[in-house]
Amino acid sequence: MTTLKNDRFLRALLREPVDCTPVWMMRQAGRYLPEYRESRSQAGDFLSLCKNTDLACEVTLQPLRRYDLDAAILFSDILTVPDAMGLGLYFEAGEGPKFKKTIATEQDVAALPKLNAQSDLSYVMDAVRAIRSALSGQVPLIGFSGSPWTLATYMIEGGSSKDFRFTKQMLYRQPEVLHALLDHLADAVIDYLNAQIDAGAQAIQIFDSWGGALAHQQYQSFSLQYMQKIVAGLQKEKEGRRIPVILFTKGGGQWLVPMLASGADALGLDWTTPLDVARQMVQGRVALQGNLDPATLYGDRTTIETAVKHMLDDAYAAGEKTGYVANLGHGITQWVDPDQPKIFVDTVHQYSAKYLA
């Protein structure tokens, strides 16, 4: 077992003392980095990049060479699970992910195979093992999955959607069919994330990217309860350490209190909920992660530094000494100047130290 040289990310998630605020960025390995674009070109396309162990490891490590990040996150995609179920994932330039098959009926759900992540998604586990080895204890490795609700929207719509027409039609006309799909996906995600933990993931994030599209009651019935099932089914410890779980619902800041029942160790926030308000809502029962607007990184040094300091002032307004991880409120965009994230990361470390002394 390799000793972690920097474990402040894991400590903050478990609300243990830290010397400064840990920071990482959602989508930190991505198109804003020229070295990533070169690796993707070498692979030929996005899916080939995900399935090439050496290149998936390389792009995971690229942002850590540029920035003083406190965690690495597995380079993969949330849609690997439905792809492994035979839906035929592909990517069209400028249009995002699409599926050759969609889910529309009770029969379609019943025909979905049971996922065996170790064999059906072995390329993901190969990447996890390679990354852990390459990190050599530098920082922890985050594994992840999409939430059942988020995965279901892609499977039903056949790709991205602005209004989730067919998914919501199923929700209100055939809720039992949607529940059957979500339950099937929850079982698959449990298997998938436990396989990542076995391969070496040291923390887990569940991306509920489209949970915010639901109405209040429907969020709890069709998204939150299935994430709760996943958290309950995950391996809790590995290599003598607890495996913290982060639940991130984009657009879900109003549901932080119901989310406390999920069993997650931390809740992620987008940029619409002030951190001081979020801290009051959760009352120290979970850690929080977030929540700088990714577009802030289009600004100059002064703009970024000011925004980061305001975020940290909110995070520590009530005098808490830990239980907070700095991040963006969603993924970094492809148009960001690669020099700007360094300002964000360094300001978090330098400015937060005064609150944690």
| Binding-site residue positions for substrate | 27-31, 77, 154, 209, 330
Q: Which residues line the annotated binding site?
A: 27-31, 77, 154, 209, 330
346 and 43 Cβ atoms separated by less than 8 Å: no
Containing 5, the helix (H) or strand (E) segment is: none
- In angstroms, what CA-CA distances link 160 with 148, 172, 345? 15, 20, 31
Angle at 152 between CA 327 and CA 260, to 5 degrees: 45
The two tokens of residue 328 are 């963006």
68 and 81 Cβ atoms separated by less than 8 Å: no
Compute the distance between CA of residue 264 and CA of residue 255 in angstroms, rounded to an integer.
14
The two tokens of residue 266 are 């931390």
Q: Helices 301-315 and 340-356, interaxial angle, to 10°?
A: 30
In three-state secondary structure terms, 238 is strand
- φ, ψ at 145 (rounded to 5°): -155, 160
Q: What is the DSSP letter of 333?
A: P
Compute the distance between CA of residue 128 and CA of residue 243 in angstroms, rounded to an integer.
15
Comparing CA positions, the residue from 7, 5, 2 lying closest to residue 325 is 7
Question: What is the C-alpha radius of gyration for the chain, rounded to an integer number of angstroms?
Answer: 19
- For residue 215, what are the contacts with CB-CB under 8 A and spacing of at least 6? none
Helix segments in 221-325, DSSP class H: 225-233, 256-259, 275-282, 301-315
Compute the distance between CA of residue 212 and CA of residue 284 in angstroms, rounded to an integer.
23
As annotated, the active-site residues are: 27, 31, 40, 77, 154
Torsion, Cα 334 338 342 344, to 10 degrees, reads: -30
